[in-house]
Amino acid sequence: MNERKINNRLSNVVVGTILILMSIIFIAELNATEIVHKFSNPSFSGINQSAHYLTIDEQERTRKEKIRADAQEALEDAQREADNTTLAKFLRNLESRIYSTLAKDISESLFNYDNPATSENPIYGEIELEGNIIQWLNNGITITLTIIEMADGVEISRTTITIPVGSFGGCVVDCG
- 153 dihedral zone (left: phi>0; alpha: psi -120 to 50; beta): left
Better pLDDT: 169 or 32: 32
pTM of the entire predicted model? 0.45
Phi, psi of 39 (to 5 degrees): -75, 135
Centre a 10 Å sphere on the Cβ of residue 70 and count the other Cβ atoms it contains: 10
Is residue 8 predicted with pLDDT exceeding 60?
A: yes
Out of 23-37, 86-100, 115-129, which region has the weakest mean confidence (pLDDT)? 23-37
* Domain boundaries along the sequence of the chain: 50-83, 86-168
Q: Strand pairing of 154-164 and 132-138?
A: unpaired
- Separation between Cα atoms, residue 1 and residue 30, nearest integer Å: 43
Q: What is the pLDDT of residues 143-154, one digit of tens each?
A: 898 999 998 888
Centre a 10 Å sphere on the Cβ of residue 110 and count the other Cβ atoms it contains: 20
Per-chain mean pLDDT for the chain: 82
Centre a 10 Å sphere on the Cβ of residue 138 and count the other Cβ atoms it contains: 23
In the sheet that holds 132-138, the strands lie side by side as: 123-129, 132-138, 142-151, 154-164
Is residue 17 predicted with pLDDT exceeding 80?
A: yes
Looking at residue 166, what is its pLDDT? 66
Is residue 170 predicted with pLDDT exceeding 60?
A: no
Is residue 46 predicted with pLDDT exceeding 80?
A: no
- Separation between Cα atoms, residue 95 and residue 72, nearest integer Å: 28
